[in-house]
Amino acid sequence: MAAPPVMGEKLVLVAMLFFLAYSTPSRWVLQQANIGEVDLAPPPDPLASLLLLGFAAFFVIRLFGNLPVALWVANQAPLFVAFFAFLVLSALWSANPGETIREAVVLALVALYALYAVTRFELKQIVLFTAVATTIGVMLSLSFALVLPEFGDSAKGWTGIHSNKNTLGRISALSAINYLFAARLYRRFRSLNYLLAALAVVLVIGSESSTAIVSLTLLVATMAVVLAFRSRRTLFGAVVLAFLSSLVIGMAFATANLGPITDILGKDITLTGRVGLWDYLLTEVTRRPFFGWGWNAYWGGWFSPAHEVWIEEIWLPPHSHNALFDYVLQLGIIGATLYLLFYCQAIGRSVRFVRDVPGAEGIWPVSIFAFVMLQSITETGALFRGLEFFFLVVAVLAVGVSCSPRRPDAPIDQQLTQLREGV
């Protein structure tokens, strides 16, 4: 039987969450040169590499006492494991095997962090610790944007302590949603969390990131619908799934070639060139349709396969501006299909999670899946080192545990508690 988490362990988790969301201080004041949409690669950050490995080592040591639990938890998400294994194996046919292996290792470390968190902590504790970590980041970003505009502001919008406005908008939107959950889970700090959520919304608006603004709006609507219908046991599942589908349609509608909507969002009629980009990339997909170019191997600069795209597209796109398109491009039809399988299964399980787990905690996973979906429409989704991927894996594992046939009638926290105690 493993000992419960001590204060030091909780502080390490908070530090890890802050690192995933905001990187290291050396990045906060580093002004990257921009050509089109591309951030020229910053110099290597030894501290970031050291932290990645240091957190992993600490969590592995802490997991030894809960190894049977950790293995059992991981086994509850076989489709995710299959997708991730395919991603790693793509190094065998990658256009840049070294880059594929490097990025796969980074993702594996973040997935390990998520496995550790689910194994050692309750879901509501993860929400609380994330709120603590992002509070520091929100305050720093506001300070950089308002007090140090040479670092935290740009001609296109606030950047805070991030390298670009889209990252600030995305992290701030995710933080705002997490604060709303923390407010409902911890009544003692409800007013404080609502205030912090408002400050995070200010950052989203200040970033002028259209995707973040639309995502946050639709995500709040998702939470409201789930809360309104969750007590109707014969209806809420269908409503949740139908609303998730409507979010896809609504986001696609908001980013389609429709003049009035693009005017509201401040975009041109071709969505800053994305339509033309997608048309060109269709040809690239047909060159390697089944296995793709290898994970993170296509978009590697002028000496990668993407150089032909950059010759055609003068705005130098750093990715496909659509997550599923990127997955087909990098992992082929097979990899993209595996992603859709694990993601759709997770959404289905999250509906049961809403029913089985009372309070705001039960709605958290479906909100994370909705957030990932919304970010996937015109951005890169969640498959990169960051808080988004950590949350995605936590949500996948949590709903997997809740649907386990081992103790189908026990709540997730009770199942994990019993396993930790060897019951």
Q: From CA 46, how far away is CA 398, in angstroms rounded?
A: 33
The per-type count for the chain, helices as H runs and strands as E runs, is: 19, 4
Residue 213 near residue 205 (C-beta atoms within 8 A): yes
Residue 348 lies in a domain: yes
> What's the Cα-to-Cα distance from 93 to each of 88, 96, 288, 303, 413, rounded to whole Å?
11, 9, 10, 17, 41
Polymer length in residues for the chain = 423
Q: pLDDT tens digits, residue range 176-213?
A: 999 999 999 999 999 999 999 999 999 999 998 888 88
Q: What pLDDT score was predicted for residue 77?
A: 93
Which range marks the domain in which residue 363 is found?
7-420
Confidence of residue 30 (pLDDT cuts 50, 70, 90): low
Query: Per-residue pLDDT tens for 36-48?
Result: 444 445 566 788 8
Which of the four pLDDT bands, split at 50, 70 and 90, describes residue 242?
low
Examine residue 1 and state whether it is found in any structural domain, yes or no. no
Residue 370 lies in a domain: yes
Token duo for residue 249? 């349609």
Q: How far, in Å, CA of 279 to CA of 292, rounded?
A: 17
Q: Is residue 268 part of a domain?
A: yes
More confident residue, 154 or 142: 142
Average pLDDT over residues 246-250: 60
Task: Calculate mean pLDDT across residues 257-269.
Answer: 44
Q: How many domains does the chain have?
A: 1
Dihedral sign, Cα of residue 212, residue 213, residue 216, residue 218: negative
Tokens 């994370």 belong to residue? 368
Q: Does 74 reside within a domain?
A: yes
For residue 328, is it within any domain? yes
Start-end of H helices in 357-421: 364-378, 387-402, 412-420
Distance (Å) of CA 233 to CA 3, 345, 352, 362:
38, 20, 10, 14
Residue 2 lies in a domain: no
pLDDT of residue 258: 41
Task: Quickly state the pLDDT bin for 311 (edges 50, 70, 90).
Answer: low
Provide the whole-model pTM.
0.88
Question: Does residue 103 carry a pLDDT above 50?
Answer: yes
Mean pLDDT of 286-305: 85
Q: In this model, does residue 409 exceed pLDDT 90?
A: no
- DSSP structure string for 150-206: HHHEETTEE-TTSSSHHHHHHHHHHHHHHHHHHHHH-GGGHHHHHHHHHHHHHHHHH
φ and ψ at residue 38, rounded to 5 degrees: -90, 130
Other CB atoms within 10 Å distance of the CB of residue 50: 11
DSSP secondary structure letter of residue 23: -
Summarised one tens digit per residue, pLDDT across range 121-151 is: 999 999 999 999 999 999 999 999 999 888 8
- Quote the mean pLDDT of the chain: 82
Q: Which residues contact 211 (CB under 8 A, 6 or more apart)?
A: 166, 169, 170, 374, 375, 377, 378, 379
Beta bridge partners of 34: 39
pLDDT digits (tens, 9 = 90+) for 315-365: 566 777 778 889 999 999 999 999 999 998 998 888 888 878 888 888 899
| Residue-level pLDDT at 105 | 95
Residue 322: what pLDDT? 79
Phi, psi angles (nearest 5°) of residue 154: -140, 175
